[in-house]
A and B are shown apart, each in its own frame.
Chain A
Amino acid sequence: MTDVSLPTTRSSNPFAGLMSGTVGPVVVVVSAILAIWYMAAVALNTPFQQEIYERASQTDVPLSQLVTDTLAQERPVLPAPHQVVVEIWNTTVEKKITSKRSLIFHSGITLSSTLLGFLIGTTLGILLAIGIVHSRVLDKSLMPWIISSQTIPILAIAPMIIVVLNAVGISGLLPKALISTYLSFFPVAVGMVKGLRSPEVIHMDLVHTYSASRVQAFWKLRLPYAVPFLFTSMKIGMAASLVGAIVGELPTGAVAGLGARLLAGSYYGQTIQIWSALLMAAFLAGSLVALIGVLEKQTLKRMGMAR
């Protein structure tokens, strides 16, 4: 981000510098979103609250009480942010990890299949990319199918894959991980193909003049060039495999995992539970991607490629 603010404006207004970076605007936008959320929560929950008042034949309720009541319903149409935060606190810190009601327990299950799927998917993607870069036939025959494989809505078949694999006796982590694999191999394969081809002709020629074999050219030139691409696509792949794991948990009859929490919440109208599972998933995705970001930074620094 370019952070150029003229010294004259800075001296005239002490807060000008605050708003010219990224942090200031982000904070403002986030608080605007929170404010809109609260207002929407009040607006959306009011009709039901009025019904309650009517039933209790309370006629003139002051506005302040209406607002506090709408923000404290048990099954609101839209829960207020603090309700969700309290629910998350209650289901993570207050509960034992082994408890079925602990959100950490469910996140752990989702996380494990996400990571397994991500690992298999990344490995598969890298291997495919290596094959495609080194073989003309694979490039011509496989590449179009890799691209069109993603136009198949795999998430739509996810339930069937899981039910069918369960029927054969493969259950637990692997079926969910396979869906994550399918989603995460694609960005890695495409990114790695691009990365492995990114050395310029002049560099490839140089390696040729050293009479390097294809294996040596791969390890010493192509692979280092592909590393930044690998990390970028791993971030996308990680986000995709979390989605895969969550959707993969939908059809297992809502046993465990964040997806199961979503489904159970929607069955029983537990909106707070849905939102807390959703926020937890968002947190998980954010931290996994951030983790890869940290790894990327460290690796690129060690390789002397830091930007």
Chain B
Amino acid sequence: MSIQTAAKRRIDMPALLAWFVVLMVIVGLFSPIFGPDYGVMDVPSLAVCLVILAIAGVRYELGFMRNLIGDLILGLVAATSAWLLVSTVSQHVGEAKLGFWALVVATWAASWLFVERLALWKSRSQSLARIVNLAIPAIFGITLLVLWQLVVTGAGVPKVLLPAPSEIWLRLINSVPTLWADFQQTFLKAVLAGYIIGCGSAFLIAILVDRVPFLRRGLLPIGNLVSALPIIGVAPIMVMWFGFDWPSKAAVVIIMTFFPMLVNTVAGLAASDAMQRDLMRTYASNYWQTLFKLRLPMAMPFIFNALKINSTLALIGAIVAEFFGTPIVGMGFRISTEVGRMNVDMVWAEIAVAALAGSLFYGAVALIERAVTFWHPSIRG
């Protein structure tokens, strides 16, 4: 941290956080930790947790070891105390008292402090900087999961309302075959087929539209309007037309992905400027050569933008379409029936699969984009 930025910042966030950790530890020391009658010294693992948090907080305030190793130790302390809290609370479900919550908040503040310090690291090597950039959101996500676990078990939230992450994980690994069958039905059949047909046909029509200026002027405003409409509403109609199995879901996906792709591709085809087109003309290139060598490459950032938007839209479309009727397999079917049976942990497991599939799909498209549009300023950095 340079002197200049330190002076400019009036509130020193890390110092505040460290004071907060110390304050919470003091609260934890003097208040009951679990019902009916547990103090912090009655639960050895939490006593350890309290002591290391206190040491970490005071250490930071004293300015001792404010360097890389000190930060790493701080991270270790936060992780250890989180683990101690999680493992202890499972024996005292729903009995948490003020002291316990104080320790939870202290752990949270410690991990926040760790992230604050991490963000200030001056990295010499590029790979280290990349690791830090990945670690910060990862720590944030893990912190959220731990807090979720602690709050749900500590306060004894009923399972029907919100299951703890550990329960969801158990359910997930215990019902892999069901989840895989659902994934196959919804993702591998409906989503992929619909996505490919929808994006592909929109791409071809976009080239046609671009060739005919009349169509461009007539279709684009309508395309823009349609992409603001709740297209998901056609789901019941598609189910009525194409039956309960996956083709009806693919049809919904086709309609949902069509217009974003159309509008973006047409916009992308207009992205090359007059100078570049003139250059192609001086090379005596015909329409198709200009299209393939200049205009399509220039349109790629736009096209991939649409492909990324569509990757999430497609999954949503397929799942929601299953609410309107489906054979007895599929992610949307599973979600709606398990909600009815109050098996909320199964629903969350299905959601985890859907989120994972959606993220991977998005990530795959983004990776292809990096490879295809390597020349674009936003990729070159």
Listed in ascending order, the chain A residues whose CB lies under 8 Å from chain B are: 1, 19, 21-22, 24-26, 28-30, 33, 77, 135-137, 140-145, 148, 150-157, 159-160, 163-164, 167-168, 235-236, 239, 242-243, 246-247, 250-251, 258, 262-263, 265-266, 269, 271, 274-275, 277-278, 281-282, 285-286, 289
Among the stretches B36-44, B278-286, B312-320, the one at the interface with A is B312-320
| A275 in contact with B351 (CB, 8 Å) | no
Binding site for A on B (CB under 8 A): 13, 112, 115-116, 119-120, 133, 136-137, 139-141, 160-162, 214-215, 217-219, 221-222, 225, 227-230, 232-237, 239-241, 311-312, 315-316, 319-320, 323-325, 331-332, 335-336, 339-340, 344, 347, 351, 354-355, 358-359, 361-362
Whether A141 contacts B137 by the Cβ 8 Å rule is yes
Q: How far is the CA of A148 from the CA of B140 in the complex (A)?
A: 13
- In the complex, what's the smallest C-beta–C-beta distance from A31 to chain B, in angstroms? 10
- Measured CB to CB, the closest approach of chain B to A259, in angstroms, equals 8
How many whole Å from B252's CB to the nearest CB in chain A? 12
> How far, in angstroms, from A154 to B324 measured CA to CA in the complex?
17
Question: Shortest CB–CB separation between residue A42 and chain B, in angstroms?
Answer: 16
Q: Are A30 and B222 in contact (CB under 8 A)?
A: yes
CA distance A155 to B354 in the complex (A): 11
Chain B residues with Cβ under 8 A from A28's Cβ?
214, 218
Judge whether B218 and A26 touch: CB under 8 Å. Answer: yes
Partner of B233, one of A21, A164, A246: A246
A77-B230 in contact (CB<8A): no
Cα A28 to Cα B229 with chains together (Å): 21
Task: List residues of chain B with CB within 8 A of the CB of A277.
Answer: 233
> A278, B234: Cβ atoms under 8 Å?
yes
Contact call B354/A137, Cβ cutoff below 8 A: no
Instruction: Tell me the interface secondary structure of chain A in the complex.
Output: helix
With A33-B222, A77-B240 already in contact, 6 other A-B pairs whose C-beta atoms are closer than 8 Å: A25-B219, A141-B140, A160-B335, A239-B230, A247-B232, A251-B323
Find out whether the CB atom of B319 lies under 8 angstroms from the CB atom of A156. Answer: yes
Chain B residue with Cβ nearest A147: B362
Bound-complex Cα distance A156 to B320 (A): 6
Knowing A145-B137, A152-B354, A157-B335, say if A285 contacts B236 (CB, 8 Å).
no
Given known contacts A151-B362, A159-B336, A275-B237, is B141 in contact with A239 (CB within 8 Å)? no
Does A26 lie within 8 Å of B358, measured CB to CB?
no
User: Contacts A22-B217, A25-B214, A28-B218; is A266 near B239 (CB within 8 Å)?
Assistant: yes
Q: State in angstroms the CA–CA spacing of A246 and B237 once bound together.
A: 15
Interface of B is mostly: helix
Q: Can you list 10 A-B contacts (CB < 8 A)?
A: A25-B214, A152-B358, A153-B351, A155-B320, A156-B351, A160-B347, A160-B351, A263-B324, A271-B237, A274-B233
Q: Which residue of B lies closest to A243 (CB)?
A: B230
Verify A157–B233 contact, CB threshold 8 A: no
Residue of A143, A153, A247, A251 near B315 (CB, 8 A) is A153
Cross-chain contact A163 with B339 (CB below 8 angstroms): yes
Q: In whole Å, how far is B8's beta carbon from the nearest beta carbon of chain A? A: 9
User: Are B225 and A155 in touch, CB under 8 angstroms?
Assistant: no
B113 CB to nearest chain A CB (Å): 10
Among candidates A1, A25, A144, A151, residue contacting B312 with C-beta atoms closer than 8 Å: A151
CA distance A47 to B362 in the complex (A): 42
Chain A contacts for B222, CB-based, 8 A:
26, 29-30, 33
Residues of chain B lying within 8 A (CB to CB) of residue A247: 232, 320
- With most chain A CB atoms within 10 A of its CB, the pick from B120, B217, B339, B355 is B217
Cβ–Cβ contact A153 & B355, under 8 A: yes
The CA-CA distance from A96 to B312 in the complex, in Å, is 40
A152 to B160, CA, bound (A): 21
Do A167 and B119 touch (CB < 8 A)? no
Specify which of B137, B235, B315, B339 is in contact with A160 (CB 8 Å cutoff): B339
Taking CB as reference atom, which chain B residue is nearest A283?
B229
A263 touches B236 (CB 8 A): yes
| Chain A positions within 8 Å of B320 at CB level | 155-156, 247, 250
Q: In the complex, which residues of chain A have a beta carbon less than 8 angstroms from the beta carbon of B214?
A: 19, 25, 28
A159 touches B137 (CB 8 A): no
Given the interface pairs A153-B319, A157-B347, A289-B228, the reply to whether A142 lies near B355 with Cβ below 8 Å is no
Residue of B nearest to A142 (CB): B140
Residue of A nearest to B232 (CB): A243
- Residues of B within 8 Å of A235, CB to CB, are 228
Q: How far is the CA of A19 from the CA of B215 in the complex (A)?
A: 11
Query: Which of A153, A246, A258 meets B316, CB within 8 Å?
Result: A153
User: Which residue of A is nearest B160, CB measured?
Assistant: A167
Residues of B within 8 A of A153 (CB): 312, 315-316, 319, 351, 354-355, 358
Contact A246 B232 (CB under 8 A): yes
